[in-house]
Amino acid sequence: MAAYSATRPPMTRMIPETIHSSIQSTAEKRIFEVIRDAPNTDKWVCFHSLGLAHHETKRRAEAACGSKQLRFVLVARPLG
């Protein structure tokens, strides 16, 4: 993640901070960058490709949509 500075507005906290080198999708890389670099989103947290549906100790998870894995989970405080 880029460092915060007076000239760059606070941005989304990405977990992990960088996209994994195994990601081949140009669209997925672009979405990662757009979410990460969105201005004034310092209270947002975005989880990317963490395998949330395959937790070692929990039997159930809601991190999948049909047979597709969720790639991004965005948590944002309400505006205002």
Q: What is the pLDDT of residues 36-78, one digit of tens each?
A: 999 889 889 998 887 655 556 655 445 555 556 678 888 887 6
CA dihedral for 69, 51, 10, 6, sign (positive or negative): negative
Q: Is residue 3 part of a domain?
A: no
Please list the residues that pair with 32 across neighbouring strands.
none
Q: Is residue 65 part of a domain?
A: yes
Does residue 55 lie within any of the structural domains? yes
Whether 39 is in a domain gets the answer: yes
Q: Is residue 4 part of a domain?
A: no
- Confidence (pLDDT) at 27: 93
Express each pLDDT in 12-44 by its tens digit: 999 989 988 888 999 999 999 999 999 889 889
Overall domain count for the chain: 1
pLDDT bracket for residue 1 (50, 70, 90): very low
56 in a domain, yes or no? yes
pLDDT at 20: 85
Structural domain includes residue 62: yes
Q: What is the DSSP letter of 18?
A: S
AA identity, residue 56: E
Q: Which residue has the tokens 């507005």?
A: 9
Residue 21, domain member (yes or no): yes
Using CA atoms, how far apart are residues 35 and 21, in angstroms rounded to an integer?
18
pTM: 0.67
Domain residue limits at 26: 13-76
The residue type found at 14 is: M
